[in-house]
Amino acid sequence: MRHSVLIFLAAGLLGSAALPARAGTVGFVLGEGPGKLVDSMIPAGYGNDNLYEALLQIVSDTNPPVSGVITPAFLNTLRSCPENSGIFTNPLSSYAGTGVLINTDCTALATGLQGSGFNGLPGSTTLATVIAGVGPASVVSLSPAYALDSTHSVFAIMDSPGSEPAAAPEPASLWLTLAGLGTGGAATWLRSRLRKSYGSAA
């Protein structure tokens, strides 16, 4: 299995290592994730909040703070949305069991996107935090923003790893090592890693 993972990562790096370019407007994902962040937030007092209010509470209730990701500029853009926008009319409780993209075009879209799938990828940074009354969470910021579809992009994802985190890519150090070696050097380096892991049979 590890053999396949290493080859897959090398191919991805030497081909197209960058995250997909942003498309259209950008947004922030409150992801359900393995730790069921949204489901944990609902009984903790966030359930009746609309999505905009939930973001305000998250900024207020996180330690260390996530205001460098959920920025005043992003919140101000959302605040200018029409009153009948989904970010104001949809309570967080309506996304139980899933995640939601809160977007600068004033829409709210259910999504299963998880931050753990981007951990360690070039262009991603992860901030571990704690939401008061809820528990640990991680915010993965993406640069460039990830194109969810032709209209919506994601600049950050917050979810909870839970006791069984979703499988994440190899650490960034592996990607950086391969990038510095080039195609031929990367292949040689991978073969040496596989021999160490599997012996002469690798």
**pLDDT tens-digit series, residues 98-150:** 999 999 999 999 999 999 889 889 999 999 999 999 999 999 999 999 998 88
Domain count, the chain: 1
Domain ranges, residue 66: 20-167
The total number of residues shown for the chain amounts to 202
E-assigned strands of 4-98? 25-30, 62-63
Whether this prediction's pTM lies above 0.75 is answered by no
Residue 185 counted as domain residue: no
Asked, as a colleague might, if the bond just before 122 is cis with ω within 30 of 0, I would say no
Q: Which of 64, 88, 69, 82 is nearest to 26 (CA)?
A: 69
Asked if the structure places residue 174 within a domain, the reply is: no
Q: Are 27 and 153 in contact (CB under 8 A)?
A: yes
Say what the pLDDT of residue 162 is.
Answer: 63
| Phi then psi dihedrals of residue 102, to 5 deg | -105, 110
- For residue 74, the surrounding DSSP H or E stretch is helix 72-79
181 belongs to a structural domain: no
Bridge partners, residue 152, by sequence: 25
Give pLDDT < 70 ranges for the chain.
1-24, 162-202
